[in-house]
Amino acid sequence: MVEMVREDIKPILSPKSIAVIGASRRSGAVGNRIVKNILESGFKGPIYPINPKADKIHGLKCYPSVLKVEGDVDLAVVAVPARIVPEVVEEAGVKGVKGLIVISAGFREIGEEGAKLEKEVLTLCRKYGMRMVGPNCLGVINTSVPMNTTFASSQPIPGSIAFLSQSGALCTAVIDWAPKEGLGFSVIVSLGNSADLNVVDFIEALKEDENTRVIACYIEGISEGDRFVKAVGEVSRKKPVVILKAGLTSMGIRAVSSHTGSMAGSAVAYSTVFKRMGVIQVDSVEDLFNYARAFASQPIPEGRGLAILTNAGGPGIVATDSCEKSGLRLAWLSQETIEKLRAILPEQASVINPVDVLGDASAERYKQALQILLDDPGVNSVIVILTPQAVTQPVETAKAILEVYRSNPKKPILAVFMGGKAVAEAVKILRDNGIPVYEFPEEAVKTVEGMVRYAEYLREPLEQEIPEFERDMDTVRRIIERARLEGRTVLLGPEARLVMKAYGLKVPESGFAQNIRQALAIANKIGYPVALKVVSPHILHKTDVGGIVLNIRSDYELEEAYDSIMRNVAALMPQARIYGVEVQEMVSRGKEVIIGMHRDMQFGPLIMFGLGGIYVNLIKDVSFRLAPIGRKEAYDMITETKAYTLLRGFRGEPPSDIDSVVDTLVRVSRLALDFKEIADLDINPLIVYEKGKNSLALDVKITLSFI
Amino acid sequence: MVEMVREDIKPILSPKSIAVIGASRRSGAVGNRIVKNILESGFKGPIYPINPKADKIHGLKCYPSVLKVEGDVDLAVVAVPARIVPEVVEEAGVKGVKGLIVISAGFREIGEEGAKLEKEVLTLCRKYGMRMVGPNCLGVINTSVPMNTTFASSQPIPGSIAFLSQSGALCTAVIDWAPKEGLGFSVIVSLGNSADLNVVDFIEALKEDENTRVIACYIEGISEGDRFVKAVGEVSRKKPVVILKAGLTSMGIRAVSSHTGSMAGSAVAYSTVFKRMGVIQVDSVEDLFNYARAFASQPIPEGRGLAILTNAGGPGIVATDSCEKSGLRLAWLSQETIEKLRAILPEQASVINPVDVLGDASAERYKQALQILLDDPGVNSVIVILTPQAVTQPVETAKAILEVYRSNPKKPILAVFMGGKAVAEAVKILRDNGIPVYEFPEEAVKTVEGMVRYAEYLREPLEQEIPEFERDMDTVRRIIERARLEGRTVLLGPEARLVMKAYGLKVPESGFAQNIRQALAIANKIGYPVALKVVSPHILHKTDVGGIVLNIRSDYELEEAYDSIMRNVAALMPQARIYGVEVQEMVSRGKEVIIGMHRDMQFGPLIMFGLGGIYVNLIKDVSFRLAPIGRKEAYDMITETKAYTLLRGFRGEPPSDIDSVVDTLVRVSRLALDFKEIADLDINPLIVYEKGKNSLALDVKITLSFI
C-alpha cells in the first residue's frame, strides 16, 4: 500500500476502481491492451471498460459511458481520440472520478491547436477537482497495488525502484528491458505532457511510499523550478533521487552580456540545483539504472572507504583505475585486516587493496576474505569481482556472498560477475536476493561513487545558516529606480560600485567626471597614480574598445589619456552614448578572482566563483551555487576551483584573504535575494589581498532585468 | 588461413600439428581441458597428447614424451608444473618444435625464483629457435584454423575481432560473455608473462590476417616502447587497433623537478604514443568491445557527419546530448534531404537531425528514411534507434535496415534497439548480419566518435616532414660535457640559454656575474632596466626563495637587489652553492606559454606545449606529442590548448606570433633527438610577441640524465 502525503494523487497511484474510457475489443488496440494489462497486473478492485459499441471486453461488462457505471470510479484511464477527450473528461468529472490518466496523444506536442485542447482538458480537471497524468503518456504502473494502466506489452517485476519518465518510449523500452536485467519496480509513471501533475508531484508523492527505496527519473525539463527545489530537497533526505536530465541545449541560451551569465547555461543551472537538493545526477540511461539497482537494495555507505575483492589481477586493476577516475580512493586496510587476510589466503595472494584471492579461489575463500574486509572499520563498501576460471565456483560464491551480506547488512556489497553462461545462475541468485550485479568493474565503481556522494549529502546539515548583516537597501533601490526611469538595464560603473558599498563591500576610491576639468579635480583629490575609464551604458567590455587607461601619473598624462579614450570610443563605437569618465585610484595588485550572479529563469539566482582576470572565459575554472548561500557553502565553492590553490598560497606565496572572499560571496547572495530586479552581476576582478587585508571589488557590472 | 609477415609466429597462430605436454585424463584438469578444446574447436591436424602415465586421452593416442612422437610437431602446449617446464621445453627443442604456448604458472609472477625459471625457459627457446607465448597464460585461439589451445570452458564464435590480453582471467570472462552479446573472434591470445612474444609481436602478426578486421587489446604495460611505436603505427594504417591500457599509476612516477616532467606521467606517455600511432584508446572494458564490435563489420566513416534516426524523442535527445559530450556534431541535413523526408514522413515527424519517424513508425518508414539519410553527402554515418512501442515492428525493421545496408556498404550504420524480449530476435538478426547493436544510445554515439577519430588518423599523411635547420651542436655538446665533468645534472641559467641560442632560439640579453662589480658592469652594458637572478645548481624555482628581482632601474637599485637576493637565499637555502648572479635585460610583456620536453623511459622524448607563467601547474592546459614533430603537428599541439585562444587574439587583442611558437616546438624536438643526455627541458615562460615579432625564451631549465 502506498502511504502518501499527497492524498490527491492516491486515486492515481492506488485507486480502488478503474474505468478505461476508450476500451477496445480489437486485439492490439491501445484501449484493449490497457484493460488486459490491468487484468494481468492482478488489480483487485472493479474494472469498468467504457465503450458504447461493446458488451464485453476481456470478459468484463462494458459501459456506454462512465456516467452509466453503478459503483464509484476512482481513476479513469482515457484512450480516446484527442478531440473527444474533453467530452469524456467532463463526463468523468460529473461522475465524480478523482484521478485521470490521459493516454491519448494529439495535444501540446502537435502544436497550437493541440495546446488549446490540452488547456481545455486542464480547465475541466480544475472544475471538477480531478488530478491528471498526461496527456500523451504510456500510463502508470504500481506493482504493490498491483495495477498496470499502461499499454506496454509486458508486466514489470515488482521491486523497489520508482521510475518517472518524461519519455513514454523510454518507459516501454525499460519495461521490456528490465526483466532480463532482474530490475524490479515499485512504480512507473509515464508523465506525458505533464499538463497537470508533473515530475515534482510524483517525487513528492513517493516520499512516504514504503515500497519505493529509490526514485529514478528521466526528465527533459522542469516547469516549476521553485517547487522542485523545495519538494525534492525534502524527499532526497529520505530516499535517493537519481536523475538523468536530457536535453543539454534544449532550453536555448538567452543572450547574455555578463561573464557569469555566459557560463551559467541551463545545464549548469540544473546541475547546481541537483547538487544542492542532494539529487544524484547521472549522464546516461545505463548509469540511471546502475545506480538505481544499488540504491534499491543496498544500504548507504558510511564513508568513502572502498575495498575490492577479486580473483583476477586484470579486473582488479581496471577497478582501481576507475576509482582514480571517479575520484574515489581505495580504503587503506588496517594492519589487523592485512594479517587476517594473510592467514587465510595463499602466499601469492594480494592482501592489500585490491585484495586478490587468486584464480583458484573457492567460495569459502571468497567468504572468509569478504567477512574480514567488512570487519575493517575503514572499509565502508565492498565490490566483489569474479571471473569464471578453471576451478571457480560462481553459484557457491554467490551463496557465500549472500550469507555474509545477511549478517552484515550495514555495508553495501556490489558484485561484478564477469562472463555469460558460466555466471548466469550465480548472477540470478545474487540479484534475486538484493545484491546488485554488474557486468564490468567500471560500472560498480561508478555506482559506489554515486552512493558515497549521496551519503555525504545526507551528512550535511539540513539547514545552512544564512548570515545577516547591515546593509543599505534604500540606496540600492534608488539606483535601480533611476536606471529604470532612464530606460537603462545596465548600471553605470559608479552606480554599481555604490551598490557594492551599500552591501559592505570595498571598492576603489573614484569619482565621475563629465569633462576633463572635473576629471583633473578628482584625480588631484584621490592622488596620482589613477586610472581613467569611459562611462557609457553601451560599452560593456571597456578594454576592447580602448576605453581604459591605467597608471596615469600626472595632470599631463591624464589629459592625454582623456583624449585617447574619447578618440578610441568615437572611432570604434560611434553610436555609444558617453556619459563621461570615471577617475579611479590605481589599486595595488593581488590575486584576481571573479564573483558573479546570474538569475536563472527557472531556479533563481546562481552564485558563481572562479579564477578571475582576462582568463575567466578562457579557463572556465568556476563553481556555482544556488542562492542563498551560507559561509560554509561559500567556502566549499572556493575549494572546488583551482583558484583555491592560488588563494591558499601557491608556490611559496603568502595565503590570501579567503575569509573576505567568503564574505563577498555571502553578500552578493544576499543582494540577489533582496533585489529580484538584478538579472546579472559580475565582480571581475575581485582583487584578493594577503590574509587579513580584505578584498576589493575592482570592476563591477550589474544588469537589470527588463521590466 | 593466416597470412603473415611474421613467419616465426605462424606455428603458434596456425600450426599444422599440436602436442599437449601435460595432457591429462582427469576431467577438469587443465591438461585435459586443453586437449578437449583442441578437439572441439575442429582442429584438422594431428594432436599428440604427451603423458607418460596414459595410453589414450579423449580417444587420442598418448606419448610418454614429445620426443617419441613420430610426425613433426609444429606447436607444443605446455601444461606441466613449473619446475618441469625447462625439461619438457628442452625436449621440445630437440624434437624440432617451432612454437610453444606455456600455460603453466609459477614463473616471474611469483617472485625471484620464478623469474629465474622463466629466464631458463627463455634461454632454451633461443637455443632451439622456438618462439613462446606465456608462461602463465590461458592459451591461444584461432577460429579460422580452427584451433583452441586454451583451457577456457567454452568455444568462442568465429568473427573478425582479434583480442590480445595481458590478463588471462579477462580472456576467460570474455570468452564466456561474448556469445550472449553475439561477438565473434578471429584470434584470442592470452599473453601471460610475455617472456618471449609480447603484444607487439601479435599486433604485427595480425596486420595481414585477413580474418581480423580489428585488434582489441587489454594491456597493463609495454616492455619495448620503441618497437611498439614502430610496429603499431604501421598496423593501424591497415586496421584499427583499440587498446584499453589499465594501471594508470602502475609505473610509479619518478621524482621529477621540471614542470613538463611533473605533468608527463606514464598515463600521458601512453596516450600520447597511442594518439600518434593511430591507436584508439578506450577507458573501459565495455568500450573496448563496443568499439571492436563496430570496427569488426562496419566501414570507416568518411567524415564527422552523424545522423540519428529514431522512433522516440527521448532517446533521440539522449543521443544528441552524447554527441555534444563526445565532441561529435550532428550532421546538417541538406535541404533536399529535408524535403525528401518531409514527403514520406507524417506531419508531426521531425525532419531535422535527430530525425524522429514517430512512435508508430513501420519498418517501411524506417527503411525509406534511412535510405534518404544515407543519400545525403553530408551524412557519414547513421545511428538507428528503435524503442518497442505499440505498433513497432522490430524484426521487420531489422530486416529493412539490413536491406538498406547491403546496398549502401560505404557508410557505417549502428543500431540501438532498446528493450529485452521485444527486440531480442531483431537484435540477433542485425548482429548476425554485421550491424552492431547497442542497448543504449550513448554507447553507439561514443563508438561513432571512436570511428571518426580513427578515420581522421587515416587521412593524416603517413610521414610528416621534419624540418631541418642549422644548429650549433658543438656548443651544446661542450656545455653538457662540462656539466657532467662537474657532476651537475642541471644546467645553469646561462648555459641553458646558450643551448637555446645554439638551436636558433631568441633569449634575453644577459651576463653572468660573480660579484656586484661585475653585475654593475653588465647592467650598464645592457642598459637599465634589468633583472637579477641567482645562479645556483641547487635552486630550481628561484622565485620561491626570493632569488629574483625584476625592474631594476639604477646602479643603486642593483646593489640593493644583489644584497637582498644573497640574504634571501642564505636564509632559505643555506646549503645551496651559489655561483653568482645573472643580469638580464628586462623584457617587454607578451603572452606567456610553456614549452617543455620530458624523456619518457619507455617511449622517448615527449614534447609539451601549454599556457605558461605561474599558472602552468594550476591550470594544466597542456598538450603532448612524441618527438620528432613537424610543423603541422606543432601547430596542432597549440590548437588543442586554451592557450591557442589567447595567442589567436583574445577579446580584441592582436594575434600573437604563433609561427614562432611552432618554430620553437620543432627546434626543441630536434634538440631532444640530437642530445639523448637531456632528460627534461622547460621553457617557462616563452614570451610570445605580436605576429611577426617572434618569441623569447625567458627562463629555461635543462636537466640532464644521470649518466
Question: 3-state DSSP call for residue A256?
Answer: coil
Return mean pLDDT, chain A: 92
- The reported pTM is 0.90
Identify the residue whose cell numbers are 528491458: A177
Mean pLDDT, residues A201-213: 95
pLDDT (average), residues A204-210: 94
Residue A499, all three cell numbers: 551598490
In this complex, is the C-beta atom of A404 within 8 Å of any C-beta atom belonging to chain B? no
Residue-level pLDDT at A257: 54
What confidence score (pLDDT) does residue B254 get? 41
SS3 B243: strand
> Which pLDDT value is given to residue B329?
84
Place of cell 532526497: A236
Q: pLDDT category, A583, cuts 50, 70, 90?
A: very high
pLDDT confidence of residue A261: 66
pLDDT at A253 over 60: no
Residues of B in contact with A192 (CB under 8 A): none
The Cα of B610 is separated from the nearest Cα of chain A by a number of Å equal to: 12
Nearest residue to B318 (alpha-carbon basis) of B452, B451, B445, B447? B445
In chain B, residues with a C-beta closer than 8 Å to the C-beta of A654 are: none
* Whether pLDDT at B85 is above 70: yes
On the question of pLDDT at B614 being above 70, the answer is no
Instruction: Check residue A649 and give left, alpha or beta (phi > 0: left; psi -120 to 50: alpha).
Output: left
pLDDT in tens, A112-168: 999 999 999 999 999 999 999 999 999 999 999 999 999 998 899 999 999 999 999
- The answer to whether A153 faces chain B, any CB pair under 8 Å, is yes
**Average pLDDT rounded to a whole number, residues B100-104:** 97
Mean pLDDT of A650-664: 89
Q: CA-CA distance, B208 to A82, in Å (whole number)?
A: 62
Q: Does A412 touch chain B (CB under 8 A)?
A: no
Distances (CA, A) of B633 to B265, B334, B639, B668: 21, 33, 10, 13
Burial group, residue A462, by CB count within 10 angstroms (0-12, 13-18, 19+)? exposed
Task: Give, in order, the Cα–Cα distances in Å from A266 to each of A243, A262, A597, A665.
Answer: 15, 10, 14, 21
How many whole angstroms separate alpha carbon B325 and alpha carbon B342? 29
What's the whole-number mean pLDDT along residues B180-200? 96
Instruction: Specify the pLDDT at position A5.
Output: 66
Q: Does B33 touch chain A (CB under 8 A)?
A: yes
**What is the rounded (10 degree) CA torsion for A663, A664, A669, A673?**
100
- Stretch 214-243 of chain A: residues touching chain B, C-beta under 8 Å: 218, 220
Phi, psi at A139, each rounded to 5°: 120, -170
d(CA A426, CA B636): 51
Q: What pLDDT, on the 0 to 100 scale, is given for residue B260?
A: 64
The 10 Å CB-count burial string (b at 16+, else e) for B603-635 is bbbbbbbbbbeebbebbebbbbbbbbbbbebbb
Query: Of B243, B418, B446, B573, which to mutate for an interface test with A (greatest number of A Cβ within 10 Å)?
Result: B418
Residue with cell 594508470: B248
* C-alpha A492: how far from chain center: 36
Best A34, A284, A417 member to test B by mutation, with max B CBs in 10 Å, is A284
Rounded CA-CA distance B577/B56 in Å is 79
Q: In this complex, which of B177, B250, B618 lies closest to A418 when CB atoms are compared?
A: B177
Check residues A656 and A461 and name the one with the higher pLDDT.
A656
- Measured between its terminal Cα atoms, the distance across chain B in Å is 49
In sequence order, what DSSP letters do the residues of A92-112 get, joined into one string?
HHHHT--EEEE----SGGG-H
pLDDT average, residue stretch B333-341: 96
Provide mean pLDDT across the span A8-16.
Answer: 95
Contact A312 B153 (CB under 8 A): no
Cell numbers linked to A128: 471538477
Q: Do the strands B47-50 and A700-704 form a parallel or antiparallel pair, or are they unpaired?
A: unpaired
d(CA A416, CA A447): 12
| Cα angle: A648, vertex A652, A658; to 5 degrees | 20
To which residue does cell 632560439 refer? B505
The CA distance from B500 to B678, in Å, is: 13
pLDDT computed for residue A375 by the predictor: 97
Residues A271-286, mean pLDDT to the nearest whole number:
93
Asked if B325 and A388 come within 8 Å (Cβ–Cβ), the reply is no
Place of cell 644546467: B491
Question: B360 and chain A: CB distance < 8 Å anywhere?
Answer: no
> For a pLDDT cut of 90, what percent of chain B falls above it?
77
ipTM greater than cut 0.95: no
Contact B220 A314 (CB under 8 A): yes
Of chain A, the percentage scoring pLDDT greater than 70 comes to 96
Percentage of chain B modeled with pLDDT above 70: 96
Q: Is B271 on the interface with A (CB under 8 A)?
A: no
> Which domains are assigned to chain B?
7-292 (3.40.50.261), 300-459 (3.40.50.261), 509-585 (3.30.1490.20), 591-704 (3.30.470.20)
Q: What is the tens place of the pLDDT at every residue in B281-303?
A: 999 999 999 999 999 999 999 99
Mean pLDDT of chain B: 92
**Among B169, B313, B421, beta carbon nearest to A314:** B169
Taking alpha carbons only, the member of A616, A704, A629 closest to residue A664 is A629
Q: Give the residue-averaged pLDDT of B591-604.
A: 92
pLDDT band at A10 (very low <50, low <70, confident <90, very high): very high
How close, in Å, is residue A618 to chain B by CA atoms? 6
Say what the pLDDT of residue A540 is.
74
Confidence band (pLDDT; 50, 70, 90) for A510?
confident
Name which of B151, B165, B166, B170 to mutate to probe chain A: the one with the most chain A Cβ atoms within 10 A of its Cβ.
B170
**What are B403-438's pLDDT values in tens digits?**
999 999 999 999 999 999 999 999 999 999 999 999
Tell how many helices (H) and how many strands (E) occur in chain B.
Answer: 24, 29
pLDDT reading at A32 higher than 50: yes
User: What are A170-183's pLDDT values in tens digits?
Assistant: 999 999 999 999 99
> What is the mean pLDDT of the segment spanning B107-129?
94
C-alpha distances out from residue B147 to B34, B46, B80, B485, Å: 11, 12, 20, 60
Q: What is the per-residue pLDDT for B463?
A: 74
User: Which residues of chain B make contact with A645, given a CB cutoff of 8 A?
Assistant: 618
Arithmetic mean of pLDDT, A441-461: 94
pLDDT at B524: 94
3 state DSSP class of A509: coil
> Which residues are CB-contacts of B35 (< 8 A; sequence separation ≥ 6)?
B20, B23, B24, B47, B49, B57, B58, B60
Counts for chain A of helices (H) and strands (E), in that order: 24, 29
**How distant is the Cα of A236 from the closest Cα of chain B, in angstroms?**
24
Is B317 within 8 Å of A247 (Cβ atoms)? yes
Q: Give B244's contacts in chain A (Cβ within 8 Å).
A: 318
Rounded Cα–Cα distance for residues A310 and B75 (Å): 33
Mean pLDDT lowest among A414-418, A614-618, B209-213, B466-470: A614-618
Tell me the nearest-neighbour CA distance from A603 into chain B, angstroms. Answer: 22
Helix (H) or strand (E) holding A335: helix A335-344
Provide mean pLDDT across the span A563-589.
89
The residue of chain A nearest to residue B151, with distances taken between CA atoms, is: A390
Q: List strand residue ranges (DSSP E) for A575-698, in order.
A: 580-585, 591-600, 604-611, 622-626, 678-688, 695-697
Measured CA to CA, the distance from residue A319 to residue A325 in angstroms comes to 10
Residue with the bigger pLDDT between B546 and A397: it is A397
Kindly determine whether residue A442 and residue B348, on different chains, have CB atoms separated by under 8 Å. no
pLDDT of residue A3: 47
